């Protein structure tokens, strides 16, 4: 009897989670098709995916604003483009080789001993904001953000 009550409680909690995320302004994301995008966003997606393989499109709402993300691969690495509802590119995350980052950035990333799984540039408004690295140590993944000058910005576990 207790088991069923707990399962219902868990099911109810899971059902309420999306509403909680939405009410606190956190991003909610859903998969969409090209035909469902506003015309301006369709045009930007077509421009941004020229020469790339489009893996998927999603629509997300964050703090009441709607954004669209195009997930792509280019020459074997990932490139994700975040676009606002007017078709303006807001952010680009692009996977790069660790050997292509500036020496100070590479030193900072490697100082967090562990296996470097992925390094990306994060560009906002056409300006390189930071480098993001995913690192695995002792079977656990973490993520760090490093400034273009090689200073640690954040570390997430």
- Whole-prediction pTM: 0.78
- Averaged pLDDT for residues 66-82: 95
Task: Give me Rg for the CA atoms of the chain.
Answer: 19
Task: State how far the Cα of 87 lies from the Cα of 40, in Å rounded to an integer.
Answer: 5
DSSP classification of residue 114: S
* Fold that domain 24-156 belongs to in CATH: Nuclear Transport Factor 2; Chain: A, (3.10.450)
Residue-range domain boundaries for the chain: 24-156
Please give the angle made by the CA atoms of 119, 125 and 128, to the nearest 5 degrees: 35
E-only strand ranges, the chain:
28-32, 53-62, 65-74, 77-84, 89-96, 115-124, 127-137, 140-146, 152-156
CB 145 within 8 A of CB 132: yes
User: What pLDDT digit, counting tens, does each position of 105-144 carry?
Assistant: 999 999 998 999 999 999 998 999 999 999 999 999 999 9
Q: Which long-range contacts (CB under 8 A, 24 or more apart) does 82-89 make?
A: 83/41, 83/44, 83/45, 83/48, 85/38, 85/40, 85/41, 86/40, 87/38, 87/40, 87/41, 87/43, 87/44, 88/44, 89/44, 89/48
- Averaged pLDDT for residues 62-83: 94
pLDDT of residue 27: 57
């Amino acid at each position: 009897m207790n088991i069923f009550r707990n399962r219902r409680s868990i099911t109810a909690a899971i059902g309420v989670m999306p509403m909680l995320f939405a009410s606190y302004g956190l991003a909610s994301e859903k998969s969409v098709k090209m035909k469902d995008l506003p015309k301006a966003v369709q045009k930007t997606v077509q421009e941004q995916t020229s020469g790339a393989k489009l893996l998927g499109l999603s629509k997300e709402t964050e703090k009441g604003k709607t954004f669209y993300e195009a997930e792509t691969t280019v020459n074997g690495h990932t490139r994700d483009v975040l676009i606002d509802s007017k078709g303006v590119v807001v952010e680009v995350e692009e996977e790069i080789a660790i050997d292509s980052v500036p020496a100070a950035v590479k030193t900072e990333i490697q100082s967090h001993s562990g296996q470097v799984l992925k390094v990306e540039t994060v560009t906002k408004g056409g300006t390189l904001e930071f480098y993001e690295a995913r690192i695995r140590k002792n079977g656990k993944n973490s993520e760090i953000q490093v400034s273009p000058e090689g200073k640690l910005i954040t570390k997430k576990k």
